[in-house]
Structures are given as structure tokens and as C-alpha cells.
Amino acid sequence: MRIGGQEVDSDRLMTIVDPSTGAPIATVARGDAGHIDAAVAAARDTFESGVWRTKTPQERAAIMRRIVAAATDVADELVELELSANGATVRQATGFHIGYALAHFSYFADLAETYAWQRPAPIASFPALSQSVVHREPIGVVGAIAPWNFPLLLTLWKVGPALAAGNSVVVKPDEHTPLSILAFARIAEQNGLPPGVLNVVPGDGRDAGARLASHPDVGKIAFTGSTAVGREIMSLASGTVKHVTLELGGKGPSIVLDDADLDMAVDGVLYGCFVYSGQVCESGTRALVPEHLHDEFVRRLVDRAQTIVIGPTRDWDTDMGPVIDAKQQQRILDYVRGAVAEGATVALGGEALDRDGFWFQPTILTGVRNVMRIAQEEVFGPVLVVIPYTDSDHAVRIANDSEYGLAASIWSSDNARALDIAGRIQAGSVWINDAHQINCHVPFGGYKQSGLGRELGPDALDAYTEIKTVHLDLSGGRDAKPYDLLLSHADQGASR
């Protein structure tokens, strides 16, 4: 663990397993509630000392950029730590997992320099002449609880704005994937981040995670993960009325309109669902297709999906790797079998692969109705369901008939028509003729039970700051103030 700038061991260990082989690759100290307490205390000490908080935004940005440069120099090592623990392919880990992570951390450094730390309000003349200034100040200690699918990227979505704003941070990474953020924390301290500003405590969610979410000295908790766990985090945080950001589950619709370029739509729908074996919260796992195009589109999907290369994660020719572990592999299989029992048909795949590690075939299901469990619940695996619709209004109703609202895609050759439909979709991100377009310059988050708040974008630091209004009286004397609403001049004289 990394607590207060020190490497801290524990009596209990966690074994990190390579999902592509099922073999152990590392052991990591298992933190508990006591280690969380120590990490929060270290973070609180550094915050109160001002060693990071009182640096100018420009100074913080310079150090953050230095960290990015150093991490870029060892990017290949970070890629290896990611893919060896979560089964991403080397292409995905290089481009998305590490490439995005470092680019986005750099973006947060830029925000530190451009953010409106102080904003004057208009001069007020009533009830007395005055000037107010709105200040943005760091919250204090921020807790970050990160998932296993994009361990470094989604951790830095929290750590980056927290540090840019001057906070100190405690990270509880997922039990499967603590390696890359532990390495990043060491790199950060070696390149100017004061010890204790960024602390990392791997551990079990029910122990370490729950303590972090409920800790009275943590002023904000940021979490990415399942909706079920997000509800628990929200409940735990409510005990001390913390700031909370939640990025939760999704069941994204991919709406194929009847004027779509089918070649592009087929590739886009497959990319939207099967990249990283479907283990992306904003994956497009429901393909909504016009009834009259259904059979042709399914045929094209199946033909194209059969070209997806499943192989060693370190091979640059591999398109799709394993799922995270045996439990998830079995969960996906149970969902597919349940869907078949409800009347769905397996058009492609549908089975786990018989090889070392935790592999599952790209799977396409037809005969699915949106009320089925497979269409309503997040599978988090390479499973695409195809649902026919009659007209655009019907497609919108199906798309919105979900407890989730994280992301959606629309495939059309008519931009005006696609934009009209985008305005009717209940989702935080709607991509037209594309998928998985995560852009650090725009907010990301969900409607409904897909989360609370937004990450990324020009306002990303808002969630990691407190707002303070400082009021300065400019009236020049007692007679210009409205004190006589309570105290008369006679009363003033009597008091003398």
C-alpha cells in the first residue's frame, strides 16, 4: 500500500490473476478499515499543512505535467500492469487504458490554470452598497473508489481534478487491479507530489471501501462501478453528508435507422458492444433495428462478428480478450441461458471457451423483447441483443425503457433526423454514427440509475471544490445599512 509516502505491508495478501491464463502474477497487501483510517489521517495532515493545498494552481499544474511526462516514459510498463490484471488486449490497453489516462490527467492540469477560482458578483446597491466574490476552495480529503475495467483511467478521472483543486486523496482500487495506480502513486511522489497527498489502499470493498465511503474526515467520495454498489456508497456517504459523484451501470441502445450506412452501422454496433469483451459501462448492448431490416442486419452482424480475433492479449493482432474472472464468466453464461429460456435465440456464440483463463464467445441474441432480463440488466460481457422496432417513435420508447441512461448511439445518414432523435433519448451521452467517444473536453455521466454528477469537461473541478461567498460592505457607515429593521437609532443611543 502507499500511505503517507511510505510503502505499507499487511499480514493479509490479495492474489492478482491474469484473466487470459488464470495464473497468479502478483500478490498485493490487503488493506482494511484500519489502513483506510491511517491513509485518511495522512491525507488530512497534508491538507491541513498546506503543502499541496497552498501551492498556486500554476504550481500544481506544473507538477502534474511532470508526473505525466514521467509516466509516459514508462507507459509500456503501465500497459503491462493493466492488461496482465484485467485482460485488456495490448491495443486497447495502450490506446484507451493508459493513453487516455495520461492525456486526461494532463487535461486536468490545464484546468487548474484556467479554472475560475474567484468570480466577482455584480455590485449590489440594496439593501446596502456591497461587493461579493465567489471563491472555489478544495474540499479536503477526497475518497476515490475505482473499478477493475479501466483501473488507471477511471481512477485518474477522480484523482486528477481532486489534485488540480488542491485536495488530498485516498484511493481504494478494485481488488483485481491495484497494480497500475500503485505504480502511478510512486511515479507521482518521485516527480514532485508531496508524500501523503495521494494514498492508495487496496482492499475489500465491504471493509476498506465501506470505511472510506463512511469516514467522517472524508469530504467527498467518487465512485465508478455497479448501480447496486453505488446505492450502498450513497447510503454510507449520507451519514456525514458527503459530496458524492457516482458513475454507474448502463444498458446502452444502438439505434439503427432505416437510412443508415449498414456497413458502417454493423461495424459500429459490434465495436460499441464487443470492445474490451463488453466490459464497458457505456457499451451499446441493445441493437434496435427496423423490422424490415432485421434479418439482413443480423446476418451482417453474425458474418462480421465471426472475423473478431480472440487470442493472446499481448498479440497486436488480437481483437478481443477474456472477461475478468471465472465468476463473471459464469454470470454471463447464466444470463445467456436465462435469455434462451425466455424465448431468445442464439445467433452467434453463447458459450464460454474451453481454454485457460476466462474467455467467452462474442454472442448475438435475437428474438429478444425489451422486457426480458437480458435486455434490462447489465450483463457486462460480450453479449449483444437485437430488438426490432416499427418506427422511430417506437425505437425511442424502447431505448428509454430502462432504469439506465448512460450512453446511446444512433446510426443514420440523415444528420437532422439523428439529431432530433438524440434530443429525445434519456442518456448522458448520445453518439451519432460512432460509439465509445469519450472526450475529456465534455462531461460524462448518466441519467436515472446510471449515476449522479458528471466527470470530465470544463466544469470537472466543480465537484471537487466547495463554494464560499465573501461579502464586502461598501456602504461607508451605519446610517447606510438596514439595521433599523431590527435596531432603531433611539435604541442605539439607549445602549450607550
- Give the DSSP H/E element, type plus range, for residue 244: strand 243-247
Which residues, 6+ apart, have CB-to-CB distance to 143 below 8 Å?
40, 169, 170, 171, 172, 212, 213, 215, 218, 220, 221, 222
Give CA–CA dist 120/98, Å, rounded: 39
In the residue annotation, 273 being an active-site residue is answered as: no
In sequence order, what are the beta bridge partners of 237?
Answer: none
- Strand 363-366 with 6-7, pairing: unpaired
Q: 68-73 long-range contacts, Cβ below 8 Å, gap at least 24?
A: 68/102, 68/105, 68/106, 68/109, 69/191, 70/187, 70/190, 70/191, 71/102, 71/105, 71/184, 71/187, 72/102
Give me the catalytic one of 82, 175, 273, 281: 281
Is 440 annotated as catalytic? no
* H-run or E-run covering 133: strand 130-138
Interatomic CA distance for residues 434 and 379, integer angstroms = 22
Number of other CB atoms surrounding residue 339 within 10 Å = 24
Residue type, 170: V
Torsion angle of C-alpha atoms 92, 97, 102, 103, degrees rounded to 10: 60
Q: Angle at which helices 262-274 and 294-305 pack, to 10 degrees? A: 60
The three grid cell numbers given for residue 367, joined into one nine-digit string: 428474438
The CA angle 227-233-234, to the nearest 5 degrees, is 90
User: How far is the CA of 122 from the CAs of 242, 312, 468, in angstroms?
Assistant: 31, 62, 16
Cell of 183: 505504480
Look at the block and give the residue holding cell 466527470: 455
Catalytic residue of the set 82, 175, 247, 378? 247
* Cα–Cα distance for residue pair 124/16, rounded to 1 Å: 60
243's grid cell: 459530496
> Residues for the chain: how many in total?
496
Catalytic (active-site) positions: 247, 281
